[in-house]
């Protein structure tokens, strides 16, 4: 059942009473969301109907945001949880060079969750949806036996045959990353070290309000600059390994070239390890043939060359003395307490 | 991240060890799933890429299956949980007159869940997916802090403009249902009355292995027989009310015309109330203009006329003496203990 947030078909009767109030609130908030011309409004039907334009492929991605795994209620403001929930999906669309169209939110909530938490969560999510003209087109709700569970699905589109896959990297291609790395993991390290100390979200923007690199990704696709692309959700060492595996190649990166995030107050630069393995930065990693001129920034986001693709297998990390060591994927394991 | 079940891109590194074994098992099982020509195989990328044919609209539906809300581990065999999980989505596609294309499964599992449970769950889900040529094209996995959580997304298609909405019913239209009603709720009543007694799934097939009415729905759409349609997931009284609300009409149904399920061993006919309000039958309810000749069965499934649409608001239930009373939606509240 698609309980269309903008339609009148949310199923009130089949829900326990507190949940009805909740749905009413979600619908009220969703009215601030502008529907796209690709989706007839007020659908309120068994399915959402989407008009994907001809000569486009559809993109689909789905991501969990689970309390205790992806966020903590006492560490993350509800607006941040909502924002990050949607960013996870939008970032996957960006990594294909695509354009998001619609989001579907499945939300299971504990019976004793304050209404205000949901209101603030939806505000964070909808602000981001509106910014990128994504229609919140439906979803499902349920009472959770334990903890908050969100599952976000984003549907996007890309001109037919223009999707940038992970499998297109070729020996000799340059490797690039957008923005700076490790800024999100640094916040986690800080929170884990001092669980009772609140940190200011503004000092760690890439953790609390990561911006999906949609415009940059779309431009790379449109100008056919990238041969392969992935978003940095699990960490550079893991995500680059994915590109290498999918493309059947190896890679060599320079430790001194990795753009490390500056975070905190007072500002400090994250350690190399955090930039190499820290996840959830939602920057993009892409490869491009040697002859392609890659701008130093696109859509206001800096782009840094960090190495190149080579034959064979594995990732070689070159230190400042040009000595190489094997870089094992040590991707982000979602934090737990 | 779409962790494509058929691609090599499932993210092993970012998962705790037990989950890795689990994903390997899910992927092994998913190999029995035949990919559709609409989805390039071995995608393993940030998003699944889908080629929806021109002149078709996309359909999207998403449904939770939560332990303790939608199923109980000691009541429902894992195969049945997997089957019902996918049926929820396929039935929504059927209710639009559409054809399913791909499914995405997000699964959060407790750390101590036996591998065999997952294997059997996937077998139930994949058997149904294969039957209807639905590609399991991706999803997400996570460790659940408490209880099994599945979120299924089904993407389908329908010839442009042919989707059968809830909003098309007009005064004078006849109201029809497929199959028989109340068979699924009867199993719940039985289980709730005797929680420790196992019942034989074969005696309650519509509860444990409900078949989505895909072919019937598609034929109604193709021949443009139905003016409105919905699937009976919440119960006749609730779902008919949805059609009435969306269409801005009222309805009159005959209590003697409601086709009641015969279930159990020895077989008994369910009470009228169970047929009127019991949910999760996954039959279809549709309306058709008076002049349309509706066959007594389509695709082997019997079709019964139960009443007609009238001007105004609300649903009138006529008893065997042609006396009318107001039928309030008393839709299915998911069972709890």
CA atoms of B140 and A67, how far apart (whole Å)? 15
Identify the pLDDT of residue A36: 64
What does the pLDDT read at residue B16?
A: 46
Chain B nearest C-alpha distance from A266 (Å) = 31
The overall pTM is greater than 0.90: no
Please give, rounded to a whole number of angstroms, the shortest distance from the CA of A331 to a CA of chain B.
5
Residue pair B6/B27 in contact by the 8 Å Cβ criterion: yes
pLDDT beyond 70 at B332:
no
Contact B95 A48 (CB under 8 A): no
**Contacts of residue A61 in chain B, CB cutoff 8 Å?**
1-2, 46-48, 138
pLDDT of residue A294: 98
Per-residue pLDDT band at A331 (split at 50, 70, 90): low
Q: What is the mean pLDDT of residues B171-196?
A: 93
A13 falls in which pLDDT band (50, 70, 90)?
A: very low
Whether cis (ω within 30° of 0) applies to the bond prior to A266 is yes
Name the average pLDDT for chain A.
87
Give the residue among B211, B230, B219 at the shortest CA–CA distance from B287: B230
Alpha-carbon gap, residue B74 to B59, rounded angstroms: 34
pLDDT tens digits, one per residue of A284-312: 999 999 999 999 999 999 999 999 999 99
According to the model, what pLDDT value does residue B21 have?
66
Bridge partners (DSSP) listed for residue A138: A104
Q: Is the pLDDT of residue A7 over 70?
A: no
Q: Is the pLDDT of residue A5 over 70?
A: no
Mean pLDDT of A166-188: 97
More confident residue, A307 or A17: A307
Cis-peptide into A154, omega within 30 deg: no
The distance of A157 to chain B (nearest Cα, Å) reads 9
**What is the total residue count of chain B?**
337
8 Å CB contact of B66 and A333: no
A1 interaction partners in chain B (CB closer than 8 Å): 61, 63, 88, 92, 233-234
Give the DSSP letter of residue B287. Answer: E
The nearest CA of chain B is from the CA of A226 a distance in Å of 15
- Across the range A319-334, mean pLDDT stands at 83
Whole-number pLDDT of residue A35 = 59
Looking at residue B28, its pLDDT comes to: 73
Pairing verdict, β A301-310 and A297-298: antiparallel
DSSP conformational letter for B65? E
pLDDT at A337 over 50: no
Lowest mean pLDDT among A190-199, B56-65, B76-85, B231-240: A190-199
Q: Given the DSSP bridges, would you call strands A268-269 and A99-110 parallel, antiparallel or unpaired?
A: unpaired
Contact A2 B61 (CB under 8 A): yes
pLDDT digits (tens, 9 = 90+) for B214-227: 999 999 999 999 99
> To 10 degrees, what angle do helices B115-131 and B17-30 make?
30
Quick one: average pLDDT of B153-174? 95
Lowest-confidence region among A176-185, B131-140, B199-208: B131-140
**pLDDT by residue (tens digit) across A247-277?**
999 999 999 999 999 999 999 999 999 999 9
Nearest CA in chain B to A15: B333
Lowest mean pLDDT of B103-117, B256-270, B312-326, name the range. Answer: B103-117
Q: Please compute the mean of the pLDDT values over residues A101-111 and round it to a whole number.
A: 90
**Ramachandran category for residue A235: left, alpha or beta (phi over 0 → left; psi -120 to 50 → alpha):** left
- Contacts of residue B170, defined as CB under 8 A and 6 or more positions apart, other chains included, come to B227, B247, B249, B287, B289, B309
HSE-CB of A104 using CA atoms within 13 angstroms: 30
| Inter-chain CB proximity A13 and B246 less than 8 Å | no
Amino acid B336: pLDDT: 36
Which residue of B lies nearest to A57 if distances are taken between CA atoms?
B51
Q: In chain B, pLDDT over 90 holds for what percent of residues?
A: 69
| Sequence-separated (6 or more) residues with CB below 8 Å from residue B130 | B32, B33, B34
| From B13, B51, B61, residue closest to A1, measured CB to CB | B61
| A129-157 per-position pLDDT tens digit | 999 999 888 888 887 877 899 999 999 99
Q: Do the Cβ atoms of A166 and B9 come closer than 8 Å?
A: yes
pLDDT at res. A17: 43
> What pLDDT, on the 0 to 100 scale, is given for residue A50?
86
> What confidence score (pLDDT) does residue A141 get?
82
Q: Of A228 and B333, which is predicted with more confidence?
A: A228
Which residues of chain B are within 8 Å of residue A163 when distances are taken between CB atoms? 45, 47, 49
Which residues from chain A sit within 8 angstroms of residue B59, using beta carbons? 47-50
B88-107 pLDDT tens trace? 999 999 999 999 999 999 99
Res A12 pLDDT > 70: no
B83-92 average pLDDT score: 97
In this predicted structure, the answer to whether residue B18 has a pLDDT above a threshold of 90 is no
Model pLDDT, residue A28: 72
Mean pLDDT computed over every residue of chain B: 87
> Which of A10-19, A118-127, A196-205 holds the top average pLDDT?
A118-127
pLDDT of residue B157: 95
Q: What is the pLDDT of residues B25-62, one digit of tens each?
A: 777 777 667 656 666 544 468 888 888 888 999 999 99
pLDDT(B141) > 90: no
Q: Do A16 and B333 touch (CB under 8 A)?
A: yes
CA of A146: which chain B residue's CA is closest?
B146
Q: Which of B44, B60, B142 sits opposite A69 (nearest CB)?
A: B142
Most confident listed range (A37-41, B24-28, B52-56, B293-297): B293-297
pLDDT digits (tens, 9 = 90+) for A44-62: 678 888 888 889 999 999 9
Q: What is the ipTM of this complex?
A: 0.82
Mean pLDDT of A11-40: 59
Residues in B touching A88 (Cβ below 8 Å): 1
């Amino acid at each position: 059942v698609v309980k269309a947030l903008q339609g009148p078909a949310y199923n009130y009767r089949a829900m326990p009473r507190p949940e009805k109030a909740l749905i009413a609130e979600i619908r009220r908030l969703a009215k601030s969301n502008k529907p796209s011309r690709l989706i007839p409004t007020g659908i309120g039907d068994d399915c959402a109907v989407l008009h994907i334009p001809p000569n486009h492929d559809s993109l689909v991605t789905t991501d969990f945001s689970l309390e205790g795994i992806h966020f903590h209620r006492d560490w993350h403001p509800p607006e941040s949880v909502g924002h990050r929930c949607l960013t996870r999906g939008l970032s996957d669309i960006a990594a294909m060079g695509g354009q998001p169209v619609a989001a579907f939110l499945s939300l299971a909530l504990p019976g004793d969750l304050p209404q205000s938490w949901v209101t603030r969560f939806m505000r964070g999510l909808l602000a981001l949806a509106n910014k990128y003209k994504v229609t919140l087109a439906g979803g499902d709700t349920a009472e959770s036996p334990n903890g908050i569970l969100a599952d976000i699905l984003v549907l996007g589109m890309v001109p037919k045959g223009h999707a940038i896959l992970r499998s297109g990297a070729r020996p000799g291609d340059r490797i690039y990353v957008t923005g700076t790395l490790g800024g999100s993991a640094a916040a986690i390290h800080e929170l884990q070290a001092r669980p009772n100390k609140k940190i200011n979200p503004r000092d760690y923007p890439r953790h609390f309000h990561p911006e999906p690199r949609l415009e940059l990704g779309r431009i790379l696709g449109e100008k056919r600059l990238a041969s392969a692309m992935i978003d940095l959700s699990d960490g550079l060492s893991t995500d680059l390994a994915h590109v290498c595996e999918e493309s059947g190649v190896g890679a060599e990166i320079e430790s001194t070239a990795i753009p490390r995030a500056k975070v905190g107050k007072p500002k400090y630069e994250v350690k190399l390890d955090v930039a190499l393995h820290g996840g959830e930065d939602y920057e993009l990693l892409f490869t491009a043939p040697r002859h392609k001129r890659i701008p130093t920034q696109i859509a206001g986001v800096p782009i840094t060359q960090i190495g190149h693709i080579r034959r064979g297998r594995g990732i070689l990390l070159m230190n400042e003395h040009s000595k190489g060591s094997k870089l094992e994927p040590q991707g982000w394991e979602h934090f737990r307490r």
